[in-house]
Amino acid sequence: MLINCVAYQDGSKLADLTVDQVSDYISRPDCFVWVALQDASAAELEVMRREFGLHELAVEDAAHGHQRPKIEEYGDSIFAVLHLVEANEHELNVGEVDVFVGRNYVLSVRNRSTQGFLGVRDRCEREPHLLRHGAGFVLYALMDAVVDRYFPIIDTLESQLETIEEQIFVKGTAKSNIERLYDLKRRVMVLKHAVAPLLEAAGKLHGGRVPHMCAGTQEYFRDVVDHLTRINSSIESIRDTVGTAIHVNLSMVAIEESEITKRLAAWAGIFAVATAFAGIWGMNFEFMPELKWRWGYPLALAAITAACGLVAWRFRRAGWL
Q: How would you classify the pairing of strands 105-111 and 31-38?
A: parallel
Whether residue 117 is predicted with pLDDT greater than 90 in this model: the reply is: no
Instruction: Give the whole-angstrom CA distance, residue 42 versus residue 243.
Output: 43
What is the pLDDT confidence band of residue 98, given thresholds at 50, 70 and 90? very high
The CATH code of the domain that includes 7 is: 3.30.460.20
Which of 85, 110, 126 finishes a domain? 126
Question: What would the mean pLDDT of 34-39 be, rounded to a whole number?
Answer: 92
Residue 94 lies in a domain: yes
Which of 126, 151, 167 finishes a domain? 126
Instruction: Give the whole-angstrom CA distance, residue 103 versus residue 125.
Output: 18
Range of the domain at 272: 256-318
Model pLDDT, residue 229: 94
What is the pLDDT confidence band of residue 161, given thresholds at 50, 70 and 90? very high
Instruction: Give the whole-angstrom CA distance, residue 268 versus residue 103.
Output: 83
More confident residue, 101 or 28: 101
Residue 231 lies in a domain: no
Residue 150 lies in a domain: no
Whether residue 285 is predicted with pLDDT greater than 70 in this model: the reply is: no
Residue 234 lies in a domain: no
What is the pLDDT confidence band of residue 211, given thresholds at 50, 70 and 90? confident
Question: What would the mean pLDDT of 135-152 be, rounded to a whole number?
Answer: 93
More confident residue, 110 or 298: 110
Instruction: Give the whole-angstrom CA distance, residue 26 versus residue 31.
Output: 6
Instruction: Give the whole-angstrom CA distance, residue 19 versus residue 300.
Output: 103
Which of 89, 107, 126 finishes a domain? 126
Residue 272 lies in a domain: yes
Cβ-count burial 277-312 (b if 16+ within 10 Å, e if not): beeeeeeeeeeeeeeeeeeeeeebeeebeeebeebb
The CATH code of the domain that includes 283 is: 1.20.58.340
| Number of domains the chain contains | 2
Q: Which of 204-208's residues contact partners 24+ apart within 8 Å by CB, and which partners?
A: 204/71, 205/71
- When the pLDDT of each residue in the chain is averaged and rounded to a whole number, the result is 87
Whether residue 51 contacts residue 121, with contact meaning beta carbons closer than 8 Å, is answered with no
Residue 193 lies in a domain: no
Instruction: Give the whole-angstrom CA distance, residue 248 versus residue 170.
Output: 12
